[in-house]
Structure 1
Amino acid sequence: MLSEWQDHKTHLRNYVSKRIDDVDAIDDILQEVYIKASTNLHKLQSKGSIKSWLFRIAHNTIIDFYRMRQPYDELSDDLIAEEDNGAHARKELAECLRPLIDNMPDKYGVPLRMAELEGISQQEIADRLGISLSGAKSRVQRSRVKFREQLMACCDFEIGQDGVIGYTPKDPTKSPKCPS
């Protein structure tokens, strides 16, 4: 590893110095690149790609360097996170989902209801329905696909960082799959 490092050290130094605005940090970053490369040399699949591998490590180390320098403000201890986080929208959405599941043929609606709403294991679903475990798994998977198709046909969703933050049911008269 040391001979490969010596071969590429000058190029790596130039690469890092062009991307770092702190001259004092260049040697620290190079040292960190060497440590990471030495530690993870066993993960390198092709010895012929060591140069690009070293530059990828250098690139990631530079990103880490800037990431650690980003300023942040301390939050006050009396700040309490808002509990809702879209809970109301999810509850409303759940009310929209139940009729969609109920509208599915029993072959698909029953296993989906058991798995997703009642939290029953697929083995227990198989036992209750008198089918094999692989049959229950297939049926639940097919049910999810059919449910997703029906859901996309019947509802418009607003998605945010916390997942679904709102939805609007589509007009059931315009889509025959949607229950009224």
Structure 2
Amino acid sequence: MEAHWDAHKERLRAYIISKVDDLSAVDDILQEVYFKAHTRQHTLKSEESMGGWLYRIAYNTIMDHFRQQKPWEELPDYLEAPVEDESEQVYSGLVECLQPLMDELPDKYRLPLQLAELDGFTQKQVAEQLGLSLTAAKSRIQRARVKLRERYTDCCAIEVGRSGVTDYYPRDSQRSCTP
């Protein structure tokens, strides 16, 4: 093993240098390659494949080196979490209002809309799930959107700006836009 190691040592070192920018880590990695090769030489199938075997060990050791590195710095504790954007808060409130209104829709429209919009199914998957043709599923989803929009605009007034919905409030004191 020592004779083969000496024959490949400098080329392995050059290979490691080409992959790792930190020169102080190169010799540590090379030593780790030697240790792994020495302890695993029983896995070597033939001496003719010694070079490729050593390079494979070197490659894996380099990958282990990078996995152990933290590519980021920990943020200090005094930094606060970002404040949720006001339009995002309005949007979140608006989404909470939709579920009760969706529940009022007939199952024929509510189920396809829920699968498509809330559960993230494609329209084709909705059709398969509900045993409908693709055309029927698309039609029901579209009709459900229209019915939901009608119910929502009957319930709440919506203010729309450049970034989307900016505010909403109940139209009728009997019915609320909040859950």
TM normalised by structure 2 equals 0.49
Which structure: larger Rg?
2
